[in-house]
Structure 1
């Protein structure tokens, strides 16, 4: 307990709870598992990954993923194999597709905990685990049927192995120990490469080079870089599938993935996800919520320590914090200058921030600055029933108007008062001066996870994705040929269990389109007519037939 804090029965009970495994279990349940089994798959990313997996299994081709009968070159194969194994076990369901991400996030959390035990102790490990589990973006990544939880796991394992290898090499440990470390690192690099390609190798290579250079320990770095048994293991993991996809598709995957989705994605804006060098300065506070203010309070301290720690020092804590800061800065800087920017990209560099926060727990210093960003966020969440109608009144775009109208209705029920729980708890924690700041933020994080993933998330996703899931079920019951016209919702094909080609419909076919484009569809297919069989929100499912005669 901090000497300036007076102990009380309540504060002692909170301290015991946050030091126990039950707090970590509760954080995982609220942030990772809550509603992951029931929320509709989200488009575009979840829908695209899961439909590619479904088509891969339906064709019996486990080498080349396809999406709507077109080869999908966005990612390598590992995530599709993991999802295929999961749905084989659990069946075609939201949980079946999301289980690999949930398992990867739990393994990522476990790896973080073990690393902190080795280099900081149990309290550091416990706090780091709570911070990671309750950070807003980690919760989204953990329950999303995409490749990012898997990639974060392998990047973390590679980075942790690199630092452990550095410590062992610096301390003169035997060759057998160093070889085991390097084998583990190269295995993580290979599996990461098979998950999302060169990014899984790029960051560990650059971060390790900078860190070993700052520590004046190039000999150990060169030894690791040219450890040929490790490269053989890496190639044994990566090459077999690349050979198989070459035999199946020729060089199409290599041109599509390595040139378009790696070189092209960095140099050109893809899918409208452009940004600026300041994009992640704005995104990072939301990604780390509710711990944004905590990071702001300790950032000056971290900067001073990184600046003044003597180069080449053998001081373990100083070296560890330099390694963690280097890891974060490299990832942050790299994506800040990318032409394609998405919030979850910078999560690859957030694992070291979780550890740094745990190594610098706040007690009384910087209380209001630590709580201020979270309080603002909580007030926005609580104000959604009033903010959404204001936004709906100002928009004139048809799609946005329909979605906002649905959200206004969804947030107008009795459950809206649950949103007030978050700002009330945050304000209470901030005013409770006997409670250490970090403990109040963690308790607020538990409430944030319950509100975001138990109240806000389900309402938003039900409005944006619920109509797609229902339309797919209606189409499946009606049977027959179904096409999509000027709408891209790959989860529709997942729920319908069939490919949905994009084209103008013909007589006797069902067509999925956006409600605001329904009139355009009628003009495009004239003299045929389209009669709605399902319409909700922005989604319309219609049957096309010949024009009726009077």
Structure 2
């Protein structure tokens, strides 16, 4: 088969196989706590015109707990413009970004590396590993999937520039870096130290150190980010101080919000957890490839240096979260894809086989049938596990109360996903008040109201144990509506 039709078929196969796992039941689960719920509120308020384009807001006030640039929120607000304010619109940008990442791995491997099956294996690996499909990445309304897309494009096009001195590749890499910076700020720069070391110690790459275009390609994206920060400081005074505390200095100098770990945190999670992640296979594949495949050595060296330096930077930071390592995942997947391709090439050359593509398909079935079926079963779930089940039930319950004119949602603590669903109810004409047992800081929830007292006739919605115990211990009430575990309680008086 000629080159172009083969690439088209590989892209089509990847789009169908990966697209199913990425989009099936994408909006079935309610929004999760923390980042996904807060980004949903940011996007909802931007879509409805309640916030400035450069200053995402939370409950009508500039969001001082989320200091990332607004590219993700823009994309979610745009999705809401098309689909309405739905969970699907919140998660769609991440799912699309992951699909494009998969297709790019296939395209880049076939077009620029002449390794047609390596990209397919990398793409399938990406969407069948729970680490990437859960929580913060592929099927979540969070920053990381979008960041991973831009960084994957950026580092691979930069490799192409270093190999071929291609101005087009450098331009594409600069555009990708700009978008990565506007997605998650300084986290987009963590591959640059490794690239600098490569340019310094690899003789064939040293031309980049004296190429003015390289400095423009790095400094202009950074200047655009600094320009955004300065503009936001104008519209939101005090932002740069918050930025320093939350991103530039705080996360490196101390573990924010209790997210700490030892020096082996990322190594243990990524490489030494074989029952959950396949990256430990790279420890076997990479040495074999390096010594037996001279044509792969420049790419292997490039990827390994980037992975090691990125891992070192993350390890030096005091705040440790597993999803900070998400940008590494496609690079690990590509290493595994190169190993698969090497095996196919050995079969084709040593055995003189005319059935290499059939061997490739058989290998894909052997390696990915079980992980694929497991992931398909996982994405079909419509209920969160126990870690989220009690805190994410609001999305299914609050629409059932639309016949009420007003009620108070009693929360044990900060819960942005519940706030998102409450805001949707307000847009449907219901007056929803929010009260907390444990009042969050002003920076987290501006104007948060603590529980004081409920007068007779007040309708109070509780879905979690501590609000229920508070109501049961302090008030007489009747239950006017119930869908377990949520209840709407009509207060009859204090005990």
Retained in 2: the 8 A contact 1:472–1:492?
A: no
Equivalent residue, structure 1, for 2:58 = 67
C-alpha distance after superposition, 1:77-103 (max 9, x if no partner): 111111111101110111111111122
Contact 2:131–2:277 at 8 Å: present in 1 too?
A: no
| Structure 1 SS opposite 2:127 | helix
Greater shift in the superposed pair: 263-272 or 139-148: 263-272
| TM-score with structure 2 setting the length | 0.78
Query: 1:430-472, CA deviations, whole angstroms, 9 ceiling, x for partnerless residues?
Result: xxx9996664121222212112212486666983455221333
Q: How far has the Cα of 1:24 moved from its partner?
A: 2.3
Superposition map of 1:31-430 within 5 A: 31-58=21-48, 59-73=50-64, 74=66, 75-117=68-110, 118-140=112-134, 141-169=137-165, 177-178=166-167, 180-203=168-191, 205-217=192-204, 219-223=206-210, 227=214, 229-230=216-217, 233-234=220-221, 237-239=224-226, 241-251=228-238, 253-284=239-270, 292=278, 295-303=279-287, 316-361=295-340
- Per-residue deviation at 1:473? 2.2
Report how far residue 284 of structure 1 moved: 2.3
The structure that is helix-richer by fraction is 1
Q: Distance in 2 between matches of 1:182 and 1:20?
A: 26
Distance 1:223 1:531 in 2: 76
Contact 1:191 1:237 in 2 (8 A): no
Q: In the alignment, is the contact (CA less than 8 A) between 2:392 and 2:418 conserved in 1? A: no
- Structure 2 distance, partners of 1:532, 1:96, is 34
| Change in CA separation of 1:315 and 1:297 when aligned onto 2, cut-off 3 Å | closer
The answer on whether the counterparts of 2:19 and 2:99 sit within 8 Å (CA) in structure 1 is no
Distance 1:91 1:342, change over 3 A: same
Structure 2 equivalent of residue 444 of structure 1: 370
Between 1:489-498 and 1:449-458, the stretch displaced more is 449-458
Compared CA separation, residues 503 and 541, structure 1 to 2 (3 A):
farther
Q: Residue 27 of structure 1 aligns with which residue?
A: 17
Please report the TM-score for the alignment, with normalisation by the length of structure 1: 0.71
Check the 8 A contact 2:314/2:320 in 1, yes or no: yes
Q: Structure 1's 213 and 94: CA in aligned 2 closer, same or farther, altered over 3 A? A: same
What is the alpha-carbon distance in structure 2 between the residues aligned to residue 456 and residue 474 of structure 1?
Answer: 18
Contact 2:408 2:461 (8 Å CA) reproduced = yes
- Structure 1 pair 364–84 and aligned structure 2 pair: CA distance change class (3 A): closer
Q: Tell me, what secondary structure is at the counterpart of 2:259?
A: coil
Contact 1:104/1:153 (<8 A) preserved? yes
Figure out how many residues of one structure are paired with residues of the other and give that number. 444
SS in 1 for 2:340: coil
- 1:488-527 map, 5 Å: 488-497=414-423, 498=426, 500=434, 501-505=448-452, 506-507=454-455, 508=458, 510=460, 512=462, 514-521=464-471
Three-state SS of the structure 1 residue aligned to 2:257 is coil
**Cα gap change, 1:287/1:509 in structure 2, threshold over 3 Å: closer, same or farther?**
farther
How far apart are the structure 2 equivalents of 1:162 and 1:530? 65
Q: Deviations over 1:68-122 (max 9, x none)?
A: 4453242221111111111011101111111111221122122222221111421
> Aligned equivalents of 2:360 and 2:199: distance in 1?
42
Q: 2:413 maps to what in 1?
A: 487
| Unmatched 5+ stretches in structure 1 | 1-15, 170-176, 366-432
